[in-house]
């Protein structure tokens, strides 16, 4: 294969010596093209980041080592300016809805039956984590309710009750909401101040299957604090709350 321009020189690793037009660049082999392609697949594959990657890969006779070095540099740069796929950054998985071992509907329990969220997630009032309810909480009702349901039969298997009827097992739920270790989010502080679960978790009472409603980014949290300070919900105005936005509040 040869380069499409007479003034461009084809080098030994498959890169053209001079990039002339986007059409020329796309029509000829590129240095490190497989590397660039793999990188583009891990990012939102358009715009500033991808155009830079393509220009580097089509650059003048770049070796694979140089291409890798440039891509690593772009990675560092992208932490401040490029948009990542939601799946690549912990906590940013907006819309994430994994398949769970049991089909549990918040729409039925929290919506139609009006169960208080804190009945199952009892840690929300007193600790940093709301917690995943143990199987015993489920079995408080489902020892008697809908015991012939295939899902409840599966729940009972996970429970693995002992001779006294107490569960010895657990359900291997797939975690949906997750934050980096350097972020501290105390559920109790928010719940005790009257912040609704839906503020972060969205219309949970309408979800047949739970998904991550918000991206849980730092911007999401900071903007929420600012909004509460400038225009708090009607039911919280009389509490005169101040939601701090200094770094040490969440990073300590």
Per residue, the 3-state secondary structure of 58-94, as one string, reads CCCCCCHHHHHHHHHHHHHHHHHHCCECHHHCCCCCC
Long-range contact pairs involving 116-121 (C-beta distance under 8 Å, separation at least 24): 117/197, 117/204, 118/191
Residues 68, 34: one domain? yes
pLDDT of residue 62: 53
As a whole number of angstroms, the distance between CA 113 and CA 117 comes to 11
Range of the domain at 53: 22-84
Residues 27 and 46 both lie in one domain: yes
Quick one: 95 and 209 in the same domain?
yes
pLDDT at 28 over 50: no
User: Going by C-beta distance under 8 Å and a sequence separation of 6 or more, which residues neighbour residue 201?
Assistant: 177, 213, 214
Segment holding 139, helix H or strand E:
helix 135-142
Question: Do residue 32 and residue 46 come from a single domain?
Answer: yes
Residue 43: predicted pLDDT: 39
Of 216 and 63, which is predicted with more confidence? 216
Give the count of beta carbons closer than 10 Å to the beta carbon of residue 110.
20
Task: Specify the higher pLDDT residue, 38 or 154.
Answer: 154
Residue 16's SS3 state is: strand
pLDDT top residue among 86 and 175? 175
79 shares its domain with 92: no
Q: Specify the pTM.
A: 0.63
Beta carbons of 160 and 167 less than 8 angstroms apart: yes
Give the pLDDT of residue 79: 52
Is the pLDDT at 30 greater than 70, yes or no? no
| Range among 22-26, 54-58, 212-216 rated most confident | 212-216
Is residue 176 pLDDT above 50, yes or no?
yes
Rank 17-26, 77-86, 103-112 by mean pLDDT and report only the highest.
103-112
Q: 12 falls in which pLDDT band (50, 70, 90)? A: very low
Q: Tell me what the mean pLDDT of segment 44-52 comes to.
A: 41
* 68 and 191 in a common domain: no
Domain count for the chain, please give it. Answer: 2
Mean predicted confidence (pLDDT) in 65-83: 59
**94/47 same-domain check:** no
Domain membership flag for residue 13: no
Domain presence at residue 236: yes
The yes-or-no verdict on residue 141 having pLDDT over 70 is yes
Give residue 64's pLDDT.
64
pLDDT of residue 18: 41
Nearby residues of 89 by Cβ (< 8 Å), 6 or more positions away: none
- What pLDDT, in 10s, does the model give residues 211-238? 999 999 999 999 999 988 988 888 777 7
In terms of domains, do 199 and 238 share one? yes
Say if 212 falls within a structural domain: yes
Residue 215 contacts residue 92 (beta carbons within 8 Å): yes
pLDDT higher for 173 or 66?
173
Give the CA dihedral 85, 86, 90, 92, nearest 10 degrees: 140
**Domain contains 139:** no
d(CA 130, CA 150): 28
- pLDDT over threshold 70, residue 89: no
Contact 73, 42 (CB under 8 A): no
145 is a domain residue: no
Structure token pair of residue 154: 């599966």
What are 129-140's pLDDT values in tens digits?
999 999 999 999
Structure tokens at 81: 């300016």
Q: Is residue 192 part of a domain?
A: yes
Say whether both 194 and 75 belong to one domain. no
Q: 74 and 97 share a domain?
A: no
Q: Is residue 116 part of a domain?
A: no
Identify which of 133, 126, 119, 94 has the alpha carbon closest to the alpha carbon of residue 211.
94
Per-residue pLDDT band at 34 (split at 50, 70, 90): very low
From 36, 54, 84, the end of a domain falls on: 84
157 lies in some domain: no
CA–CA gap between residue 3 and residue 55 (Å, rounded):
16
My answer on whether 244 and 222 are in the same domain is yes
Domain boundary among 35, 50, 84: 84
Instruction: For residues 92 and 65, state if they share a domain.
Output: no
CB neighbourhood size of 9 (10 A): 14
The three-class DSSP label of residue 112 is helix
């Amino acid at each position: 294969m040869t380069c499409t321009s007479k003034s461009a020189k084809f080098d030994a690793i498959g890169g053209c010596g001079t990039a002339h037009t986007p059409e020329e660049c796309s029509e000829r082999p590129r240095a490190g093209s497989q590397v660039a392609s793999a990188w583009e697949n891990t990012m939102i594959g358009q715009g500033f980041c991808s155009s830079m990657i393509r220009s580097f890969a089509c650059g003048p006779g770049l070796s694979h080592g140089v291409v890798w070095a440039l891509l690593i540099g772009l990675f560092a740069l992208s932490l401040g300016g490029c948009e990542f796929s939601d799946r690549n950054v912990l906590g940013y998985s907006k819309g994430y809805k994994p398949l769970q071992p049991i089909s549990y509907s918040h729409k039925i329990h929290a919506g139609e039956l009006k169960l208080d969220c804190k009945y199952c997630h009892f840690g929300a009032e007193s600790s940093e984590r709301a917690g995943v309810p143990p199987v015993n909480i489920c079995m408080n009702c489902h020892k008697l309710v809908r015991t012939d349901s295939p899902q409840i039969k599966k729940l009972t298997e996970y429970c693995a009750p002992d001779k006294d009827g107490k569960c010895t097992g657990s359900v291997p739920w797939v975690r949906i909401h997750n934050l980096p270790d350097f972020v501290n989010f105390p559920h109790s502080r928010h719940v005790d101040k009257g912040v609704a679960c839906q503020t972060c978790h969205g219309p949970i009472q309408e979800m047949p299957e739970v998904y991550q409603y918000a991206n849980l980014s730092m911007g999401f949290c900071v903007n929420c604090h600012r909004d509460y300070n400038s225009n708090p919900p009607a039911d919280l105005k009389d509490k005169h709350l101040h939601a701090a936005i200094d770094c040490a509040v969440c990073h300590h």
